[in-house]
Amino acid sequence: MTKRTKFIVIGAVVVVAGGLGFMQYKKGSKKGTEVRIEAVQKRDLVASVTASGQVTPRTKVDLSADITGKIVALNVKMGDMVRKGQLVLQIDPQQFESQVQRAEAALANSRARLAQARASLQQAQNNYQRSADIKKSNPTLISDEQIEQLKTTFEVNQALLEAASQDVKQGEASLKDARWQLSRTNIYAPMSGRVTRLNVENGETAVQGTFNKDAATLMTIADMSVLETKVKVDETDVSRISLGDSAVIQIDAFPDTTFIGRVVEVSQSSVRGATAATGDQAIDYEVKIRLVNPPTDTRQDFSATAKVITDTRTKVLAIPIIALTVRENEELKSGDSVPNSKAPAKQVGKKDVEGVFVVDGTNKVTFRPVKVGIAGEKYFEVLSGVKEGERIVGGTYQAIRELKDGTIVREAKQPEQKPGEKKS
């Protein structure tokens, strides 16, 4: 073999070996679990609780009738503004005027009987007193039996006077009640506001609302200048809400606008409701949020969604919520080991630890416990466990579930961004 031939052969071997090495490198670079890798960095976080409900006025009054009768005058329409003391509805007063007249006549009759009883008592008293005086001066002129009869007549007239006096009081009470019922034929606005609900028409019969308030409600007057959103918050979140917390409110009727509100009341007792699917009891608490500068065309019972801001953090280390996972820690033993003791240490079980998978320079991952603080929409505040700039596995959820210490990972390719599309 000539020297030229040897160089050709050696060159060919080097080329083949280099090609095989490059192919092996490319093959190795494709190994590893595909994950999304993200660097730990500082972010601004906002913790919130989201709940839905309805817009209601802070003050509203449901008007109902205290008597039953036909409506003869309806002076308002739906949506009208009324002032306090304005006559809004009248019930036919004829029946109640008659009752007042009957009560007045009965009272007059009772007073006449009282005057008669008073006169009879005076006469009986005089007769008894004169006879008693004669009996003292001359016992033989009037017998003891006559004195007893006169005394009895006097006592009977005393009782009749007392009965007549009570009849007068009863008549006065009946007249007062009849006049009260007559006054209830005119229904006045108890407050200034807008008529937001009108359930009756002129000519219908108004009924008393003793047993069925909803059926007896004639109209609702509401002060629409101060509006609140009543939302139901789950028991797991209500403890994070405090009076004065700010809120961002989205009203369905105004989809392109958000409004600011403040928490003004957190109920101390729950509002229970059964879930149709499972029959379990869902425990919610009612939270009232007052709207700041609501639009003038807001109406009662508009659907709304409120996001209550419970806490904020500025420039704190944060990790993606999806990156936080749980792994079972090593078995824990209670107590320190005692020298020369033959008794084995007592096993007390295992403990789940929250943490993230940190990626080193060789793309190997290591599970590291972390302590987290508040939760924003996408990120947790991290209090300890990682440092700024460290790389961690930030997705996917399925990949994180299957990771173990020492697993080799490779970063997934990000999809190309389309023109005009916002970067997530």
pLDDT at 211: 63
* pLDDT value at 26 more than 70: no
pLDDT at 333: 42
Q: What percent of the chain has pLDDT over 70?
A: 82
Of the two residues 280 and 413, the one the predictor is more confident about is: 413
Q: What is the pTM of this model?
A: 0.66
43-93 pLDDT, tens digit per residue, is 999 999 999 999 999 999 999 999 999 999 999 999 999 999 999 999 999
Rounded to whole angstroms, how far apart are CA atoms 359 and 391? Answer: 5
pLDDT at 61: 94
* pLDDT value at 226 more than 70: yes
* pLDDT value at 214 more than 80: no
Nearest one of 369, 368, 367, 370 to 405, comparing CA atoms: 367
pLDDT at 277: 46
H or E segment to which residue 7 belongs: helix 3-29
Res. 273 pLDDT band, cuts 50 70 90: low
pLDDT at 15: 45
Q: What number is the average pLDDT over the span 187-211?
A: 90
333-372 pLDDT, tens digit per residue, is 444 443 444 444 444 445 789 999 999 999 999 999 999 9
User: CA 317, 319, 320: angle at the middle one, nearest 5?
Assistant: 150
Cis peptide before 396 (omega within 30 of 0): yes
pLDDT at 307: 95
Of the two residues 40 and 19, the one the predictor is more confident about is: 40
Nearest one of 178, 179, 185 to 92, comparing CA atoms: 185
* pLDDT value at 21 more than 50: no
**In this structure, how many other beta carbons lie within 10 angstroms of the beta carbon of residue 379?**
25
pLDDT at 139: 83
pLDDT at 414: 63
Give, rounded to a whole angstrom, the gap between the first and last alpha carbons of the chain.
66
Res. 308 pLDDT band, cuts 50 70 90: very high
* pLDDT value at 149 more than 80: yes
Please state, rounded to an integer, the average pLDDT across all residues of the chain: 84
β-strands 409-411, 33-39 pairing: parallel
Res. 415 pLDDT band, cuts 50 70 90: low
Rounded to whole angstroms, how far apart are CA atoms 112 and 122? Answer: 16
* pLDDT value at 262 more than 70: yes
Nearest one of 325, 317, 331 to 388, comparing CA atoms: 317
